[in-house]
Amino acid sequence: MDRRLLFPAIAITAWAQQVSPATAEAEKAVRARAEKFLQLEQDKNYRGAWALVADDTQDYFFNSGRPEILSFTIDNVELSDNNTRARVTFRIKRTLPIPGMGGQTFELAGVSTWKVENGDWFWYVDQAALETPFGKIPINKATGGGAPAMPGMPNLASLKDQVSIDKSAVTLSEASPVQTVAISNHMPGPVTIEIEATTIDGLVVDVDNKQPGSQKSATVSFRAKPGTKPAGTVGIDVQPLGQHFDVTVTSN
């Protein structure tokens, strides 16, 4: 291959991957407005947040609920329509009421939409339908306000189904003195794994990740000390769900 052709090809590829100054500036502006909007809501300064709401969404803003935001993180900004529309993906931590458990803190994903009005970026909502992590939810016009017709809160049983263990028994032997079980978390946010104190002679229990995040897992290992044959039941608790798993340990 003629090496003189290699450098122009590389240059063209790099140029194609570069973001134009206008796009970079627009993304920076959207991110700054979204951060300001979320911070104002976290501070419960709703009058200040209202100043960042588009004209066609102000009624919706006043009639919708006010989320209790503990913290937030902006993940991504996507621009469209010649840099006049944007989608901002973010995560917030908030406390949700769980029947029988009181308020519990979760990390939830969200999407906000922004558009240019009078030369600046404003938050707006397509009021034909709201896009949420659970799909598009139609606005409830019958209420006389702009609040969405949100589905009911999941019950405790359905929440617990989102954390699972792959097996409930392990067998230790001289040839295989270590066995493991996996705990998978499909909740929107992290959970905490606690190993109950055990008095089983010769058994050592460890967990590699005590706080697996959403869509993550933790490995619990069971190890027999040399010359021992542990036997008994080890309890594992998952918070904030109050979920409990028992793992039966036997030895050959």
Quick: pLDDT tens for 84-108. 999 998 888 888 766 555 677 777 7
Averaged pLDDT of the chain: 81
Q: Taking the domains of the chain in order of start, what are their residue ranges?
A: 13-153, 158-251
Multiple choice CATH, 13-153, 3.10.450.100, 3.30.110.60, 3.40.1180.10, 3.40.190.170: 3.10.450.100
188 token code pair: 């929107």
C-alpha–C-alpha distance, residues 45 and 65, integer Å: 14
What's the whole-number mean pLDDT along residues 58-68? 81
Q: Give the residue among 245, 235, 232 at the shortest CA–CA distance from 183.
A: 245
54 DSSP 8-state letter: -
What's the whole-number mean pLDDT along residues 66-95? 90
Quick: pLDDT tens for 16-56. 456 789 999 999 999 999 999 999 999 999 999 999 999 99
13-153 with 158-251: one CATH topology? Answer: no
Picking from 59-68, 148-157, 188-197, which range would have the lowest pLDDT averaged per residue?
148-157
Classify domain 158-251 by CATH architecture. Answer: Sandwich (2.60)
Picking from 7-16, 141-150, 163-172, which range would have the lowest pLDDT averaged per residue?
141-150
